[in-house]
Chain A
Amino acid sequence: KAGVTQTPRYLIKTRGQQVTLSCSPISGHRSVSWYQQTPGQGLQFLFEYFSETQRNKGNFPGRFSGRQFSNSRSEMNVSTLELGDSALYLCASSLEGGTDGYTFGSGTRLTVV
């Protein structure tokens, strides 16, 4: 079966711009979680969606938002980009939530210049 698909793989944006990242989970998975990965902070939880509802949110500013569609595909949006937003953004899908184990996508590498 198809894995978790994240698009695009790479992005270069300018400070102040906004960006939208997309994640298509494994068929049948209803939970999608987003993580930001940086060398300094490691993996930090952004938010988790289940059946179009945000169930949990990490400690990120309101510039970070997301949503999930009825087909379980998810998008995350970052507005007013800052240099510190440069990171690898990982999407992970699971059946009900992370307790059954995540399947990760390959990530989107965002560079803010």
Chain B
Amino acid sequence: AQTVTQSQPEMSVQEAETVTLSCTYDTSESDYYLFWYKQPPSRQMILVIRQEAYKQQNATENRFSVNFQKAAKSFSLKISDSQLGDAAMYFCAYEETSYDKVIFGPGTSLSVIP
């Protein structure tokens, strides 16, 4: 069964600094999608970034970028120039193209220190 692991339950970063959140996953498939979702204290989950496994290029969305290492089954999220509004729970997620179920990791709680 596919699993998603986030080994850092909690992390903190100074405002304006850079932080990297880790994610690994287990799959025997070659074609799939990976995501990072953000859930602020207000609780509405927001899609941060999406990566298609067959694309070599790492996805980027403004201050958010990923380091996708397919062979290592690793998908880390880098947040540059951290802002107070980045404080949230971050979930790494995986979906196969042949399924319609997204599997979420346990989450990493990110605190931003002013």
Residue numbers of A with Cβ under 8 A of B are: 31, 33, 35, 42-43, 45, 48, 50, 55-56, 58, 88, 90, 92, 97-107
Cα separation A31 to B91 with both chains bound (whole Å): 21
Assess whether B100 is in contact with A31, with CB atoms less than 8 Å apart: yes
A26 CB to closest chain B CB (Å) equals: 12
Cα separation A2 to B15 with both chains bound (whole Å): 32
The closest CB in chain B to the CB of A3 belongs to B44
Cα separation A92 to B100 with both chains bound (whole Å): 12
- State the interface size on chain B (CB cutoff 8 A): 22
How many A-B pairs have beta carbons closer than 8 Å: the answer is 55
Of B44, B46, B97, the contact of A99 (CB 8 Å cutoff): B97
Cα separation A38 to B98 with both chains bound (whole Å): 27
Residue numbers of B with Cβ under 8 A of A are: 33, 35, 37, 42-47, 50, 91, 95, 97, 99-107
B25 CB to closest chain A CB (Å) equals: 15
Cα separation A56 to B95 with both chains bound (whole Å): 13
Assess whether A102 is in contact with B102, with CB atoms less than 8 Å apart: yes
10 contacts between A and B (CB under 8 A): A33-B102, A35-B104, A42-B105, A45-B101, A97-B100, A98-B101, A99-B97, A101-B35, A102-B47, A104-B45
